[in-house]
Amino acid sequence: MPQTADTQTCPKCAQPRAPEALACPSCGVIYARFRAHPQLAHPVAPNVRSRRVPIAAARIEELLSFAARTVESGVPLASLASTGALATLPRAAAEKLDADLRAGVPLSQSLDELQALDSGSRALVRAGELHGGLPEALRAVAARLAHRQKVRVGLLLAVAYPALLVLGAAVVLPLPIAFREGMVAYLGRVVPLVLAMVAVAIVTLVVAPRLAPASPLRRGPRWLAQRVPVGRSAALHGALATFAGVLGACVNAGVPVRKAVVLAAEGAAPHPAFEGAPERLLEELDRGATLAEVLGVIRSMPTTFVAQVGTAEISGTLGSVLPALEDEHEKKARFLWMTFAAIVGASVFAGVLVVIAFQVVSGWIEVFKTQAQQIDKLTR
């Protein structure tokens, strides 16, 4: 049923509603178009494809920043397409978002169906939709995406020199083949290696950023990195930063602790330590445990993290302590990932030097061997 004119709160997010307002400034729903559905958790846009559409992270960042300004200016999200905010997105994604928003589908759900956000970012947006503060949530997610892009660029720069060194070695080391066997043999040895490296570069720089965060190609390198101590620590600190960030945003937005803990655990769930954590955390909360005691059941949770949360819980400063914990662990994760990239780069550099040394020594041994054979022939 449509909402009556005397309703004083938003029918979707329960935020205060101005009598003359046509749309909610928090969640963007148009009051006159809202229809409650008893069976569905969210409204569903009819005849809209939800297949995965590759969207670059930079485009998502621009979209969320623009959407935050749109909601703050009083324009409903349903009118986002008319503002030109969707013009930079792929056509299929723009059409789906436009149809979803016009039908009242939450932005978090639409982006989730497009697989455009990781679980932590999706949890932040959902918290803003449910309990107000949507513009702040959108800006926080946009800042997360921008920060990750900077870290990614730093990692790529850290491995760029070793990659160029490997490319140079692949081209230079086989040069003697060109003199002994001809250019055809040389190209046959070099071209496949160069093409393979170019393909890896294209996948890393062009293809991977447009894949879903949960895609195997994007999760594979992180999974491999977690097999190394430095990468394992970096991934854990990143998960803790996500957990603290989502939990802090939910607490500051007034989300009930039970819901906030679940959203935060889902956001950090890609890390093995948080797999299945929402169910365990709810069980502990139902037993009457404090938040600090609840966090203690998570595998690999640092005792210092739990202690700071416990102190903040007693003093009533969770809203300020959790963002500080997010910043602390994010810095640790960034430092460790850069250290990991430096170790990989140094290993590649050392490996190339070993190969070059081996090739040089082998070349000289071959020269001396040839000279010895010629001397033997002359002395006979």
> Would you state the torsion angle of the CA atoms of residues 224, 228, 234, 239, taken in this order, to the nearest 10 degrees?
50
Question: What is the spatial distance between Cα 279 and Cα 207, in angstroms, rounded to a whole number?
Answer: 35
Burial label, 99 (beta-carbon count in 10 A; 0-12, 13-18, 19+): middle
Classify residue 340 by its DSSP letter: H
Output the six-digit token pair for 211: 């894949």
- Looking at residue 24, its amino acid is C
Predicted local confidence at residue 6, as pLDDT: 40
Say which residues have a Cβ less than 8 Å from residue 158's Cβ, sequence separation at least 6. Answer: 338, 341, 342, 345
CB 292 within 8 A of CB 313: yes
Q: Enumerate the H helices of the chain as residue ranges.
A: 57-72, 91-102, 107-113, 119-131, 134-172, 175-180, 183-202, 216-225, 229-252, 257-268, 277-286, 291-295, 303-315, 318-379
Q: Which residues of the chain have pLDDT under 50?
A: 1-6, 35-50
Per-residue pLDDT tens over the stretch 180-218: 777 888 888 888 888 888 888 887 777 776 666 666 666
For residue 42, what pLDDT is reported? 44
Angle between helices 229-252 and 134-172 (to 10 degrees): 160
Report the sign of the C-alpha dihedral through residues 86, 248, 319, 257, in that order: positive
216-225 vs 229-252: helix axis angle to the nearest 10?
Answer: 120
The tens digit of pLDDT for each residue in 286-332 reads 888 888 888 888 878 888 898 998 898 888 888 889 889 988 998 89
Measured from the Cβ of residue 82, the count of other Cβ atoms closer than 10 Å reads 10
Apex 211 CA angle, 236 and 133, nearest 5? 65
Distance CA 304, CA 316 (A): 18
- Spatial contact of 263 and 127, defined as CB atoms under 8 Å apart: yes
DSSP bridge pairs for 189: none
Name residue 16's beta-bridge partners.
Answer: 9
Q: How far apart are CA 380 and CA 129, in angstroms?
A: 93
Q: Using CB atoms within 10 A of its CB, is residue 137 exposed (0-12), middle (13-18) or buried (19+)?
A: buried
How far is it, in rounded angstroms, from Cα 167 to Cα 356? 13
Name the pTM for this structure.
0.64
Distance CA 325, CA 241 (A): 7
Per this entry, what is the length of the chain? 380
Q: Which two tokens stand for residue 84?
A: 């030109």
Return the pLDDT at 39.
Answer: 35
pLDDT at position 264: 84
